[in-house]
Amino acid sequence: MATITMRQLLDAGVHFGHQTKRWNPKMKPFILTDRSGIYIIDLQQSVKHIDDAYNFVRDLVANGGSIMFVGTKKQAQGVISAEALRVGQPYINQRWLGGLLTNFNTVNKRIQRLKELDTMDFEDASKSSFTKKELLIFRRERDKLEKSLGGIRNMAKTPSALWVVDTIKEHLAITEAKKLGIPVIAILDSNCDPDDVTIGIPGNDDAIRSIEILTKVIADAAADGMIARHSKDEAQAEPLAEWERELLEQGKSEATDAAAEAPTTEAPKTEAPKSETKKPAVKKAEPKKAEPKKAEPKKAEAKKPVAAKNEEAPVAAQTEEAPVATEEPTPAVEADTDKKDA
């Protein structure tokens, strides 16, 4: 529901209509009285229709639709562009091009041409393959397309609905929308025809403040619809009942509890990989077979005493030869004694 009060509508001058001589008899149910030759619009009905328009636009955008803001009169140009850009919706605030909706394929080609011209650099002619005169012509073409189609450059298809400020001035847009079956939401002044629109909001379509407050309501509805659309994208495609949501939440809580207990219960399972890792240990057992080779140093140690004995053997030999050395001089002594005797 739109958060707007009758006091805000009164301050914005939404209740002021046209002069009594300029009116449409079909608007009589929405007119409260006349004062000083000016019709006074019933704001209670305005609030009711504002809520209807708000809910319609919100649901439309939430389901993937788009709404085009249309207002080419001077009082509405700035408001239309500002609010449409705020919510990322297409808009037309300059002259309405004939066939904009009914001949959208041709219009789309001009939109592609506008995007192509946007990629060109008109400032530095030295880097371009075109002459300065050609660049000037392209710039003028770009400016012209930007003025008429700049608000719908990102529109890939016809909009799902139209928001119109003045139904009399924008009669071409309403006619094309009716041919295509596109719903129209508009401000209905005392001189408008309520049969031309799908949802009409009785109000002043000439005052800037009135246009601003009503256009802001429609833009807020589009913004709420976009928020609802993104929330749907994050959630499931189809809405769930309350009992289904409760079951889903319980399942999530059980899953989290199971995940928390998983490390303790899965601890024995981790032994299986350890048994697999023992296979390399079997391979390590192969060096154990090579232990006899390690015994070789022991044999070497055993041989050391033998070597010691071998070393001692020469000593013993020397000791045995020593007496022989001592025995040899004795004959010499005997020889000397023999010489002395001689």
308 in the same domain as 174? no
Q: Is residue 176 part of a domain?
A: yes
For residues 230 and 280, state if they share a domain: no
Is 188 part of a structural domain of the chain? yes
Q: Are residues 212 and 71 in the same domain?
A: yes
Could you report the per-residue pLDDT of 178-234, keeping only the tens digit for each?
Answer: 999 999 999 999 999 999 999 999 999 999 999 999 999 999 999 999 998 888 766
Rounded Cα distance between 218 and 79, Å, is: 12
Residues in CB range of 18: below 8 A, 6 or more apart: 38, 39, 189, 190, 191
Looking at the structure, tell me whether residues 213 and 279 fall in a common domain. Answer: no
Domain assignment of residue 278, given as a range: 271-341
Report the CATH number that the domain containing residue 60 is assigned in CATH.
Answer: 3.40.50.10490
Largest interatomic CA distance in the chain: 191
Residue after which a domain boundary falls, among 209, 234, 259: 234
The number of angstroms, rounded, from the C-alpha of 121 to the middle of its chain's C-alpha atoms is 30
Average pLDDT, the chain: 78
Backbone dihedral region of 232: left (phi > 0), alpha (psi from -120 to 50 degrees) or beta? alpha
What local confidence, expressed as pLDDT, does residue 319 receive? 40
**pTM exceeding 0.85:** no
Q: How confident is the model at residue 262 (pLDDT cuts 50, 70, 90)?
A: low
Residue 67's pLDDT is 96
How far apart are alpha carbons 169 and 141 in whole angstroms? 27
Mark whether 199 and 313 lie in a shared domain: no
**Does residue 110 sit within a domain?**
no
User: Does residue 248 fall inside a structural domain?
Assistant: no
**Do residue 196 and residue 310 come from a single domain?**
no
Which of 234, 250, 280 delimits the end of a domain? 234
pLDDT in tens, 109-138: 999 999 999 888 877 767 778 888 888 999
Determine the Cα–Cα distance for residues 198 and 200; give it in Å rounded to an integer: 7
Instruction: Give the tens place of pLDDT for each residue, 142-183.
Output: 999 999 999 999 999 999 999 999 999 999 999 999 999 999
How confident is the model over 64-75, as pLDDT tens digits? 999 999 999 999
Residue 26 pLDDT > 70 = yes
Asked whether residue 52 is domain-assigned, the answer is yes
Cβ atoms of residues 182 and 101 within 8 Å: yes
Asked if residue 311 and residue 229 are part of one domain, the reply reads no
